[in-house]
């Protein structure tokens, strides 16, 4: 099975590495980052794991900057930042054959719509992951938190391609389930990111740190509760019975991880704030639901984006 991953950041690299251990054909990683591509092709991809003393080097991978060299895949997984989804799929069009499923496991709202600008909606599978990974440098990541991957067809069917993808992921050690409620799934995960990402980006704490401070645990609950109200107004059927408790569980399970938004702020990169807390604010406004905590978090993260805050915070 030929797998292509668009976006070789922390999560794309993690899935690429794990899947490369169970595929005969090398997993292809497509990314614009030249140093990452060079390093992976020269020395493989090194994965540190918080639960094992020795890092593991994965070599059944090929990295590319240009999709032309790859050819059509049997499965494409999209892992670029949600702000770049539409552009990345357009640029990577050559890796999609007539029947290639496009799987998005990205954070935030709007990824399906971004993919559908280039590909038919029937080619899209969506899902979420509670895995956590940190990019340490070219060719090196840390697997800092384990959690379930859940995937589903947009029409709720349990298709052979869905089962095949879930089987493959499970064989690779990425615990995966299938869901018939993909919209609920995306909102379940959105609410986790609403509670964790902006707060960790603002405080510079690892995910687990949010649970150690009462004030932050309260803000986490308030941000998620606003999101739950918006989901309710939109008629979204969440799969998770208690999203605040669930977010706290993910915080604990990925306690050692720096959230993707904190990693972005520390590296001076744009964040996914508009697709996460900003999305709650927008959707809330459309449905007449106030979301002040998400509003404040969105503004604070945008401030840190603008000031290029780095490790020590803004000057």
The active-site residue out of 2, 18, 81, 189 is: 189
Q: Is 193 in the site for ligand PAF (CB under 6 A)?
A: yes
CB of 148 to ligand PAF, least distance (A): 11
Interface stretch with ligand PAF, choices 38-46, 110-118, 193-201, 297-305 (CB under 6 A): 193-201
- Return the residue of 23, 82, 149, 207 that touches ligand PAF, per CB under 6 A: 207
Specify the residue, 2 or 189, whose C-beta has the smaller distance to ligand PAF.
189
Residue pair 61/26 in contact (Cβ under 8 Å)? The answer is: yes
Token pair, residue 73, equals 């895949």
Residue 57, CA distances (Å) to 14, 37, 153 in order:
12, 15, 33
CB of 251 to ligand PAF, least distance (A): 8
Phi, psi for residue 298 in degrees, rounded to 5: -60, -45
How many CA within 13 A on the CB side of residue 249? 14
- Return the residue of 104, 123, 259, 271 that touches ligand PAF, per CB under 6 A: 259
Specify the residue, 145 or 284, whose C-beta has the smaller distance to ligand PAF.
145
Known catalytic membership, residue 306: no
* Coil/strand/helix, residue 90: helix
Which 8-state DSSP code applies to residue 73? B
Which 8-state DSSP code applies to residue 252? H
Specify the residue, 37 or 250, whose C-beta has the smaller distance to ligand PAF.
250
Specify the residue, 94 or 136, whose C-beta has the smaller distance to ligand PAF.
136
CB of 25 to ligand PAF, least distance (A): 28
Residues 248-266 as b/e (b if ≥16 CB within 10 A, e otherwise) read: bbbbebbbbbbbbbbbbbe
* Coil/strand/helix, residue 57: strand
Q: Which of residues 77-116 bind ligand PAF (CB under 6 A)?
A: 107
Interface stretch with ligand PAF, choices 73-81, 112-120, 253-261, 283-291 (CB under 6 A): 253-261
- The residues that bridge with 124 in the sheet, in sequence order, are 102
Instruction: Report how far residue 98's alpha carbon sits from residue 73's, in angstroms, rounded to the nearest whole number.
Output: 10
Q: Which of residues 5-24 bind ligand PAF (CB under 6 A)?
A: none
- Return the residue of 36, 106, 254, 298 that touches ligand PAF, per CB under 6 A: 254
Q: Is 130 in the site for ligand PAF (CB under 6 A)?
A: yes
Closest CA to 6 of 172, 109, 118: 118
- Return the residue of 197, 271, 294, 298 that touches ligand PAF, per CB under 6 A: 197
Residue pair 239/186 in contact (Cβ under 8 Å)? The answer is: no
CB of 110 to ligand PAF, least distance (A): 15
| Residues in CB range of 86: below 8 A, 6 or more apart | 113, 114, 115, 117, 118
Interface stretch with ligand PAF, choices 18-26, 57-65, 252-260, 299-307 (CB under 6 A): 252-260
Q: Is 278 in the site for ligand PAF (CB under 6 A)?
A: no
Specify the residue, 19 or 273, whose C-beta has the smaller distance to ligand PAF.
273
Q: What are the residues binding ligand PAF (CB under 6 A)?
A: 107, 130, 132, 145, 192-193, 196-197, 207, 250, 254, 257, 259-260
Annotated catalytic sites, by residue? Answer: 189
């Amino acid at each position: 099975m030929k797998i292509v991953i668009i976006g070789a950041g922390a999560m794309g690299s993690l899935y690429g590495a794990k899947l490369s251990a169970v595929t005969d054909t090398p997993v292809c990683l497509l990314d614009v980052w030249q140093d990452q591509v060079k390093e992976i092709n020269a020395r493989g991809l090194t994965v540190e794991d918080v639960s094992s003393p020795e890092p593991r080097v994965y070599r059944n991978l090929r990295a590319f900057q240009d999709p032309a060299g790859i050819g059509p895949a049997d499965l494409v997984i999209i892992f670029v930042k949600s702000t770049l989804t539409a552009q990345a799929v357009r640029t990577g069009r050559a890796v999609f054959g007539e029947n290639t499923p496009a799987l998005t496991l990205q954070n935030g709202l709007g990824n399906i719509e971004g993919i559908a600008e280039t590909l038919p909606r029937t080619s899209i599978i969506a899902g979420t992951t509670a895995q956590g990974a940190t990019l340490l440098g070219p060719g090196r990541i840390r697997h800092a938190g384990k959690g379930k991957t859940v995937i589903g067809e947009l029409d709720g069917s349990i298709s052979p391609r869905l089962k095949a993808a879930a089987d493959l992921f499970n064989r690779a050690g990425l615990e995966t389930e299938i869901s018939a409620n993909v919209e609920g799934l995306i909102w379940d995960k959105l609410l986790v990111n609403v509670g964790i990402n902006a707060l960790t980006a603002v405080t510079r704490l690892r995910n687990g740190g949010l649970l150690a401070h009462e004030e932050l645990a309260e803000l986490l609950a308030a941000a998620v509760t606003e999101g739950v109200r918006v989901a309710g107004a939109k008629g979204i059927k969440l799969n998770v019975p208690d999203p605040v408790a669930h977010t706290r569980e993910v915080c604990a399970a990925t306690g050692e991880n720096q959230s993707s938004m904190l990693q972005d702020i520390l590296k001076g990169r744009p964040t996914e704030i508009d697709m996460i807390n900003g999305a709650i604010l927008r959707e809330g406004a459309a449905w007449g639901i106030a979301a002040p905590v998400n509003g404040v978090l969105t503004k604070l993260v945008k401030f840190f984006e603008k000031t290029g805050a780095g490790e020590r915070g803004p000057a």
